[in-house]
Amino acid sequence: METFGPYTKKLIEHFQIPHNFGKIKDPDGLGRVGNLICGDVIWLYIKVKEDKKTRQRKIIDAKFQTFGCTVAIAVSSMITTLAKGKTLESALKISKNDILKRTGKLPITKLHCSVLADDALHEAIYDYLIKNNLEIPRDLEEKHIRIQKQFQIIEKRYKEYIDLEKKILGK
């Protein structure tokens, strides 16, 4: 893969011209995650439609808003691209490793960004399942609990920043 400094051409492309940047009005699911160390925050929105014949639920749209570094923005773009068109079951199988395959080699100090994007998608799916009174897989429930504990620490530590973020996003 061609590189630009520590980043691949593909990563830089997703940073400079992010795919699916923006907000979905009335999303079916919303994942909001952040990192304790760097302060990156990702809001990931999904729209889901149920196929009447198969009864499978598919992500028909995914968008994101990210306050963060080059890598956080690029991986947010990448995960929305990966998730669109997938069933919820398939989307839950998307992992940080799938993202890292797309980004190419990252500096070790930026690996956490792939985890953030993965967590944001899983939180959006969790939110959708909760809103629709659907069964939540055990591993998703455990992941949700871990993510929420981390985010509560961030909210407490960075309350002023979080309030400003909500104001900017119109929340």
pTM exceeding 0.75: yes
Residue type, 107: P
Choosing from 38, 69, 140, 154, which is the catalytic residue? 38
- The question of whether 38 is a catalytic residue gets the answer yes
44 exposed, middle or buried (CB, 10 Å; 0-12, 13-18, 19+)?
buried
CATH topology of domain 7-169: Sufe protein. Chain: A (3.90.1010)
- What pLDDT score was predicted for residue 39? 74
High-pLDDT (> 90) share of the chain, %: 51
Query: Which one from 78, 79, 88, 113 is the annotated catalytic residue?
Result: 113
- Kindly list the domain boundaries of the chain, sorted by start residue: 7-169
Tell me which range, 67-76, 83-92, 156-165, is most confidently predicted by mean pLDDT. 83-92
Who's near 102: CB < 8 A, 6+ residues apart? 10, 78, 82
- Would residue 69 show up in a list of annotated catalytic residues for this protein? no
